[in-house]
Amino acid sequence: MEKEELINELTIIVSPYAQDAEALAHIQEDTDFIRDLKINSANLVDVVLDVEEKFGIEIDNDSMARMLTVKAAIRIIEEKLAAGAGK
Amino acid sequence: MNNRVVITGLGVVSPNGADLAEFRHAIRNGISGIRHDPQLEKLLFSCQIAGKPVIDEERMLQYFTPLELRGLQSTGIVYGVIAGMDAWKDARLEAMMMNETPDWESGSVFGTGTSGIDKFREAIYKVDNLQIRKLGSTVVAQTMSSGVSAYLSGKLGLGNQVCTNSSACATGVESILMAYERLKNGSATKMLAGSTSDSGAYIWGGFDAMKICPYQYNESPEQGCRPMSATAKGFVPGSGAGAMVLETLDSALGRGAHIYAEILGGHVNSGGQRGSGTMTAPNSEGVQRCITMALKDAGLNAKDIDVINAHLTATSKDVTEIENWVAALDRHGGEFPYINSIKGMIGHCISAAGSIESVASVLQLSEGFIFPNINCEDLHPDIEKLIDPLCIPVKCLEKQFNVLAKASFGFGDVNACIIFKRYRDGKRRIDQ
């Protein structure tokens, strides 16, 4: 999956949780979920569950703790997809 | 401090009316909200009828964001938030904006028995299926008892005491009295008081198992709940929420608020599960003491009571309750006050009963009517021996009166009684 496409999918997933519509409209790789999108930190686990469901992957606790920006999320999704494809 | 306390806003989500206007119409006209419940039938309940408020999706979106609605399964929180926010709006108060400081002078006591029992069930299944990581983020907020008051304080920006009380079926009256005391003592200026109760098989099941709900009326739900009737077969489970804004008289007058009624006082106690009292039955001595202490607290005599809004659940204990009122007030036969129970129309709304019934009480007092008792055309003969049947209206009476006593009694042998008085000097709303 292309990076562009991944960002689009991720945007759809985070949009119900994002409290800052302006930042959501300008989402890019450096966007921080909490600082920029103003996602309630408690909702980060819901974002992860939605990502897991959408991409058919499982995100371990360590990866979850790192998943705070669009860039980190995309790297983790790519890693898990690659690991899944290699199986 | 000894502030006078008045009621300036009402909100209700009841099986026979999911907002104040519908509810007023329903209680005046004796309209039942008891329906056959397919879930209870499917699960082989003995009693397959229940009282459940009807709230459509469009209305939900007026109170909850789409995000909040995701996975929201706590019906008690839904009912409580709607009733509470409606009461706030009815009092012509506004929620604090997100960028404002909280309203330090306003708080909430909003009771419940349990919270989010359907959410809890889903979480337990996931945990047992080794899916702990799939629970999502709202299990705690939906299943903590104080979930309802927490949701309300977040929506309104309340900055004073925010808590949830719990005392079984006495919860609702107790919550109003706790809020009243806080205002009387000068610790707050406005309090949102009320209570809520979840719907559904998992909250009602325990009562069905105790065989205290009627199984004879599954084909005729509206006749199923029969307070004071010779053919009463037990209480029909209900659900919903009632809420009221309580405010110091000074605050209400200062902002020109419409005043529905004044709270003169009340009392909460326990029969200690001694004498006739058990986990499930009241000690009559405790009940009578609760009523007489409430009168004393209000500075009234027994003869001052015009109307009683009773607990009367449609079990064999109805006769005992009437005996207790007769003994506590020392008034019998034709000397007895008017008395009614809303449970014939909506069933027993458990932890929401006291607050929904208090909303009904305040409406009667403020608008000058006494709603009809339904399903007691065959009055219990032992009740007829104690009080004149004319004290038990079966048609709505249009009548101005001054003082209403409302009592609720709960499992654990707990009692609560509150005294409401008509407020005569209140400014009338221009739009009414």
Q: Across the strands, what pairs with B269?
A: B415
Domain boundaries, chain B: 5-254, 266-422
What CATH number does the domain located at B266-422 have? Answer: 3.40.47.10
**What is the rounded distance in angstroms from the CA atom of residue B123 to the CA atom of residue B137?**
11
pLDDT at A85: 75
Query: Average pLDDT per run of 10 along chain B, which is 432 residues long?
Result: 95 98 98 98 98 96 94 97 98 94 98 97 98 94 98 98 98 98 98 98 97 97 98 97 98 98 98 97 98 98 98 96 98 98 98 98 98 97 97 98 98 98 66 39
CA distance A71 to chain B (A): 23
**Which one-letter DSSP state was computed for residue B188?**
-
Three-state SS annotation for B199-212: CCHHHHHHHHHCCC
**Which one-letter DSSP state was computed for residue B8?**
E
pLDDT at B427: 46
Q: How confident is the model at residue A86 (pLDDT cuts 50, 70, 90)?
A: low
| Identical fold, B5-254 and B266-422 | yes
**What is the rounded distance in angstroms from the CA atom of residue B276 to the CA atom of residue B285?**
8
Taking an 8 Å cut-off on Cβ atoms, the answer to whether B66 and A17 are in contact is no
Residue of A45, A59, A62, A67 to mutate, interface with B, max B Cβ within 10 Å:
A45
CA dihedral B99, B104, B109, B114 (to 10 degrees): 40
Per the listing, tokens 């107790």 go with: B174
B350: left (phi over 0), alpha (psi -120 to 50) or beta: left
B198 phi and psi angles, rounded to 5 deg: -60, 160
Residue of B61, B67, B139 to mutate, interface with A, max A Cβ within 10 Å:
B67
Q: Which one, of B103, B107, B430, lies nearest residue B258 by Cα? A: B430
Residue B210, classified by CB atoms within 10 Å of its CB into exposed (0-12), middle (13-18) or buried (19+), is: exposed
CA distance A54 to chain B (A): 14
Per the listing, tokens 């996975």 go with: B71
ipTM, two decimals, is 0.85
- Which pTM value belongs to this model? 0.95
Q: How confident is the model at residue A87 (pLDDT cuts 50, 70, 90)?
A: low
Taking an 8 Å cut-off on Cβ atoms, the answer to whether B67 and A17 are in contact is yes
CA distance A49 to chain B (A): 7
pLDDT at B432: 38
Taking an 8 Å cut-off on Cβ atoms, the answer to whether A16 and B66 are in contact is yes
CA distance A46 to chain B (A): 5
What CATH number does the domain located at B5-254 have? Answer: 3.40.47.10
- Identify all chain B residues contacting A43, using CB atoms and an 8 Å cutoff: 67, 137
For residue B261, which amino acid is it?
A
pLDDT at B430: 42
Between strands B414-422 and B261-270, the pairing is antiparallel
Count of all residues that appear for chain B in the document: 432
pLDDT at B428: 46
Q: Which one, of B177, B184, B19, B176, lies nearest residue B85 by Cα? A: B19
pLDDT at B260: 98
Q: Are B173 and B354 in contact (CB under 8 A)?
A: yes
Q: Which one, of B11, B6, B72, B1, lies nearest residue B248 by Cα? A: B6
- Identify all chain B residues contacting A45, using CB atoms and an 8 Å cutoff: 136-137
Between strands B369-370 and B397-398, the pairing is antiparallel
pLDDT at A2: 83
Q: Are B260 and B10 in contact (CB under 8 A)?
A: yes
**What is the rounded distance in angstroms from the CA atom of residue B352 to the CA atom of residue B369?**
23
Q: Which two tokens stand for residue B179?
A: 């809020």
CA distance A45 to chain B (A): 6
Q: Which chain A residue is nearest to residue B65, measuring alpha carbons?
A: A16
Chain B CB within 8 Å of residue A11 CB: no
Chain B CB within 8 Å of residue A85 CB: no
Residue of B65, B72, B122, B133 to mutate, interface with A, max A Cβ within 10 Å:
B133
pLDDT at B299: 98
CATH T-level fold of A3-86: 1.10.1200
Residue A51, classified by CB atoms within 10 Å of its CB into exposed (0-12), middle (13-18) or buried (19+), is: buried
pLDDT digits (tens, 9 = 90+) for A27-48: 999 999 999 999 999 999 999 9
Taking an 8 Å cut-off on Cβ atoms, the answer to whether B134 and A46 are in contact is no
List the B261-270 sheet strands across, edge first.
B162-163, B106-112, B190-197, B240-248, B5-13, B261-270, B414-422, B403-410, B307-309, B338-340
Choose the closest CB to A42 out of B66, B133, B137: B137
Q: Which two tokens stand for residue B166?
A: 């719990």
Chain A CB within 8 Å of residue B136 CB: yes
The upper half-sphere exposure of residue B270, i.e. CA atoms within 13 Å in the direction of its Cβ, equals: 13
CA distance A39 to chain B (A): 11
Taking an 8 Å cut-off on Cβ atoms, the answer to whether B137 and A45 are in contact is yes
